[in-house]
Structure 1
Amino acid sequence: MNEYGILNILMVFFPALIVSVYLKAFHNDKKSRTTVCASAWGLYIIFQCWVMASHASHPLLVLIVNILLIFLIYEVSYQVDFKTALFRAGFFYVLWMLVEIATNYMLGKLGNTTVPSSFLVGSIISKLIMYIAVHIFKRLHKKDFSTGISQKYWIRLCFVPVVTIYIIHNTFFLTARNQRNIFFLLTAVFMILVNYIVFDVYDKLGSQLDTEKKNLVYEQQIALCNKQAAERENAYQETRRVRHDLNGYLVDLKASIQSGRFEDAEAKIDNILSHNSLYGDEVSRSGNLVIDSLINYKYSLAQKEGIEMKCYVFVPETLDFDGADLCIILGNLLDNALEAVKNLPAEKGRIELSMSQVKGSLSIVVKNPYEGKILEDRNGQLLTNKPDKKNHGIGLDSVRRAVGRYNGELLAEYGNGMFRATVLLYPRENLHDYS
């Protein structure tokens, strides 16, 4: 092992880390057996050893073999279709080759390619560039990864590898003249580790923030379920009390009729009916417990706010969709509609809900008027107007997640003071893995 042995070892394993980050940009979980996947990665590591030992003296061969190895890793790790795996592996390594060519060209312009071991510093710099590139790609591609780290902090984060490249480049060529190779060795190792730690911490923080958002959504759904259960329990207890006292009511009612006080008897009957109207205000009677409970609960909230709510629900008692997902989708859409219209004038305060199932696919449409400006990010995703963005603005994000589990669609259309949210869900047996 030469004086740069440690760096050579790092340059063998660093590409594996870069490839792993790239593949994770497309998928969350592996689908393969561990032994098969480990064998594929082993072949890749062995080939990288040969590349470092030969100084990539056969670039075309290196490119072709790398593409084939990444294709193999992709296939056995995620079991995607042949064309997708080959295209993504080819695109990735062609881009990497261009980065290496550009790096060596710039080093040549600086007159540094004649220095011994310049291949090593070029390899380090090109891999650092690819490392930041795959992290940028992962952030842009994985829109479902709703990290709360703002864009300005992420840009500052990218400044770390840029500074690292500058430090490694200058340290190498300064120490090369003085033959102080150990100083460059330590600097390069520490700077590579710093980059790994920084981006690993970033991913962990993003994952933690994502989990916190999910937990907040679940807390909201649990609170909703608890509230529904409490109201149902109160209504049920009231019904039990009325039934328990029914004998006394009938005796009193009979006395009023026998004495000729018919108006008094009619009033007593109305009173009994009003206290026993557990299902009197229901607008959804599809027979599906989840949908009926949620819609009727939201309808009661609308009534209390003086909001007109029309519901057209045509769904069977059983659906091929998870009840929790339906609660998240329907609950958040109706919450957003109620929030939008509650401060509007009485004549504008109206919500329209339509639900229907056709050939197994479920359609949900919620329409409501609105005032003010609707904000969007650069990806076209709607943003909240509320200052507390941590605890608000996650409703539609939760809907997108639930819709995505069925390869469904969420369409938001607005204009002329009217907002329309449309959700289409497809039954799981009709879905295919297009990832």
Structure 2
Amino acid sequence: MELEYERQKEKSTAEYYDLLNEQNENSKIVMHDIKRHLNAIKSISGDDAVTEYIDNFIEDFSVNKSVDYCNNPMVNSIVNRYKSFCDKFGVKMNIDIRNADFGFMSQPDITALLDNLLENAVEAAQNTENGFIDFSAFVRKNKYLSIQLTNSVKNIVAVKNNRIASSKKSGSIHGTGLKSIKRVVKKYDGEINMNFNEDDMTFTSNVVFEIPRLNYEY
């Protein structure tokens, strides 16, 4: 029952990100058209006050628009959501997933993997001084997708054989979320390694998948 509940949750979350991505795309189209109309008004108004108002209006909307971090719309929706959380909580989030390839994974599995990884990272980092998250994903040797997520933590995390012995309050991956992550890793014959560094109080998750041959690019 727990597994079925988690799968239904993953499906619902994936559908949410689908809808969010569709809304973002529609917003981009609308904003693009609005900018064209506003620039046309600016060019014929001849009023400095109007020009300044329009420029400020366009700049405000440009700052708040979603960012395409990679070529996968689902991944972008997830990352944009957690980047906004980090901005809200004062957590510095560094993102480099430009060369990532998630094309071999289903959208619910992408959601289960990244949403759980990022949710736990944000929960942990927001409770630390100078909280940060480093999130990277890239293709190695044209064959492997490597995902690494490092975040600051407040308390010591006991990790043994990729199992978390500490509670959720420690700021590590926990409970059902970890089960979901491991399910996706197992489904795609991947590997996961988790490590806590007491010297700098950071928690790191490394996930590696071998990309199916049909997804290789030569």
Please tell me the TM-score bracket, short chain as reference.
Answer: 0.7 to 0.9
Distance 1:239 1:373, change over 3 A: same
Secondary structure in 1 aligned to 2:175? coil
Kindly indicate whether the alpha-carbon contact (under 8 Å) linking 1:409 and 1:424 is maintained by their aligned counterparts in 2: yes
**Which segments of 5 or more consecutive residues in structure 1 lack a partner in the other structure?**
1-210, 431-435
8 Å Cα contact 2:127/2:153 also seen in 1: no
| Aligned counterpart in structure 1 of residue 55 of structure 2, from 266, 269, 272 | 269
> Aligned residue for 1:218?
8
2:46 maps to 1:253: no
In the TM superposition, residue 373 of structure 1 has moved relative to its aligned partner by: 3.2
Match of 2:98 in 1: 314
Q: SS at the partner of 2:185?
A: helix
Correspondence for 2:67: 282
Tell me, yes or no, if the aligned pair for 2:21 and 2:73 is still in contact at 8 Å. no
Aligned partner of 1:370 in structure 2 is: 153
In structure 2, what is the equivalent of residue 403 of structure 1? 185
The 1:231/1:215 distance shift into structure 2, 3 A limit, reads same
Q: Which one has a bigger Cα radius of gyration?
A: 1
Higher share in strand: 2
Q: CA deviation at 1:306?
A: 1.8
Tell me how far 1:255 sits from its aligned partner: 5.1
Say whether the 8 Å CA contact 1:313–1:355 is kept in structure 2. Answer: yes
1:142-164 superposed Cα distances (whole Å, 9 cap, x missing partner): xxxxxxxxxxxxxxxxxxxxxxx
Q: What is the alpha-carbon distance in structure 2 between the residues aligned to residue 316 and residue 376 of structure 1? A: 27
| 8 Å CA contact 2:162, 2:193 repeated in 1 | no
What SS class does the counterpart of residue 71 from structure 2 fall into? coil
| Deviations 1:161-187, CA, capped at 9 Å, x for gaps | xxxxxxxxxxxxxxxxxxxxxxxxxxx
Residue 144 of structure 2 is matched in structure 1 by 361
| Match for residue 337 of structure 1 among 117, 121, 139 | 121
Cα 1:271–1:374, aligned 2, differ >3 Å: closer, same or farther? Answer: same
Q: Which runs of 5+ in 2 are unaligned?
A: none
Tell me what 1:229 maps to.
Answer: 19
Kept in 2, the 8 Å contact 1:407–1:426? The answer is: yes
Q: Is the 8 A contact 1:384 1:393 kept in 2?
A: no
**Match of 1:287, SS?**
coil
Query: What's the offset of the Cα at 1:256?
Result: 3.8
State the partner residue of 1:324. Answer: 108
CA distance in 2, matches of 1:408, 1:318: 13
Work out which structure has the larger RCO, using CA pairs closer than 8 Å and 6 or more positions apart in sequence: 2
The CA distance in 2 between the partners of 1:219 and 1:237, in whole Å, is 27
Q: Which amino acid aligns with 2:83?
A: Y
In the superposition, the TM-score normalised over structure 1's length comes to 0.41
Correspondence for 1:240 among 30, 38, 42: 30
Q: Distance in 2 between matches of 1:317 and 1:380?
A: 25
Judged with a 3 Å threshold, the aligned counterparts in structure 2 of structure 1 residues 288 and 278 are, in CA distance, closer, same or farther, namely farther
Q: Is the partner of 1:314 in helix, strand or coil?
A: coil
Percent identity at matched positions?
Answer: 21
Q: Which digits, 9 at most, give the CA deviation of each residue in 1:307-344, with x for residues without a partner?
A: 11001113356633333322221221111100101122
Which secondary structure does the structure 2 equivalent of 1:291 belong to?
helix
Amino acid at match of 1:381: R
TM-score by length of 2: 0.77
Could you say if the C-alpha distance between residues 323 and 226 of structure 1 is closer, same or farther in structure 2, counting changes exceeding 3 Å? closer
Residues 383 and 393 in structure 1, CA contact (< 8 A), matched pair in contact too:
no
Counterparts of 1:407 and 1:318, CA distance in 2: 14
- CA deviation after TM superposition for structure 1 residue 219, in Å: 1.2
Report the Cα distance in structure 2 between the residues aligned to 1:226 and 1:327, rounded to whole angstroms.
10
Deviations 1:270-302 (A, max 9, x none): 313433x39844161x21222222222221221
Structure 1 pair 342–316 and aligned structure 2 pair: CA distance change class (3 A): closer
CA contact (8 A) 2:137 2:147 kept: yes
Inter-partner Cα distance in structure 2 for 1:318 and 1:270: 37
- 1:222–1:398 Cα change, 3 Å: same
Count residues in correspondence: 207
